[in-house]
Structure 1
Amino acid sequence: MLEPGSPAPQLVLEDTTGQTVRLADYRGKHAVLLYFMRATSCPVCRRHVQDLAENADALAARNVRVLVAVPDDRATAAAWRAKHRIPFPVLTGRDGTPHELVGLSRTVFGALQRSGSVLVDSHGVVRHAHGAALPTAGYDKEGITAAIEQLAATPLP
């Protein structure tokens, strides 16, 4: 798993339309909160995304863009995004899952996909990283909020 204070990885993912999305594209413009769902079928993860959607305006006001990463294929991700009217880009991996790229590998003999979140500031530095095997623990809202609050207090380099 990534560590706060470390440089963000060079993530290259795809959105539900097949467009390339690079984490580096946000550098110098916005902080990015990546929420990694266990699967689009996970009801707990869907509630977490709903919470992010309900707070989208507040996050945008803090210059934070939300990206939702799923281990599902692009067609499944696109159908889920449309059905639930997800206001954020939903991303899939080009090779493997987005989760593997940040250290959220499967646990319990490869049967259980971990979920979590990563907040990267506009300078490309990880400010928050959290992962969990149980979906109820994968969304660290308090930790995310504290890290976003800290963004405003961090002077420019």
Structure 2
Amino acid sequence: MVKVGDKAPIFEAVTDSGEKISLADFIGKHNIVLYFYPKDNTPGCTREACAFRDNWNLLKDYDVVVIGVSSDDINSHKKFKEKYQLPFILVSDPDKKIRELYNAKGFILPARITFVIDKRGIIRHIYNSQFNPENHVKEALKALQKIREEEVRN
């Protein structure tokens, strides 16, 4: 099970645009907000994605890459992203291998869990809340602020 202080597990995935990416592409360059959600176009997942979108200007200030992960296919992600004008990456995890790497499986529903990863690839914050989707971006912003404060001190 991954925990705060661990190196973030590296994965490769296909994005909503059909591009293949690796988490390693961003380590050393950006902070990363990696959020797992159950399903495109469901009420809670839409509120969560739109909360990240609506706070995009704040997030950008922290030199962050946001990656949303669900088991929906690329076509579903593409439509979801276009419909809600989401400015971040969505990746498809059809076999749930990325979820497994991060132990983000859940019980009945796939887990709604957010990981904040610093530029060194270290997990700095984990927020797990199925029923408070809008709070994920608030938690991510708090963690990013803390990372920035530590960078300034060092």
Q: Match of 1:74? A: 74
How much does 1:100 deviate? Answer: 2.6
Kept after mapping to 2: 8 A contact 1:9/1:102: yes
Q: Say if 2:113 is the partner of 1:122.
A: no
User: CA 1:5 to 1:15, structure 2 compared with 1: closer, same or farther past 3 Å?
Assistant: same
For structure 2, the 5+ residue unaligned runs are none
Which residue among 139, 144, 150 is the counterpart of 1:148? 144
Q: For residue 132 of structure 2, what is the amino acid of its counterpart?
A: T
- Paired AA for residue 146 in structure 1: K
Q: Distance in 1 between matches of 2:119 and 2:23?
A: 10
**Partner AA of 1:8 in structure 2:** A
Compute the TM-score of the two structures, normalised by the length of structure 1: 0.85
Q: Which amino acid aligns with 1:119?
A: V
Separation (CA, whole Å) in 2 of partners of 1:101 and 1:137 = 22
**Partner SS for 1:100:** helix
**Counterpart AA for 1:60:** K
Aligned residues: 153
Give TM-score, length-normalised by structure 2: 0.87
Contact 2:36–2:114, Cα closer than 8 Å, also in 1 = yes
Distance in 1 (CA, whole Å) between partners of 2:57 and 2:139 is 19
SS of 1:136's equivalent in the other structure is coil
- The residue number in structure 2 matching 1:41 is 41
The residue type paired with residue 54 of structure 1 is D
Identity among equivalent pairs (%): 23
Please show how residues 1-157 of structure 1 align to structure 2 within 5 Å. Answer: 1-93=1-93, 95-96=95-96, 98-108=98-108, 112-132=109-129, 134-136=130-132, 139-155=135-151
SS in 2 for 1:104: coil
User: Cα offset for 1:58?
Assistant: 1.2
Which stretch shows the higher mean deviation, 121-130 or 146-155?
146-155
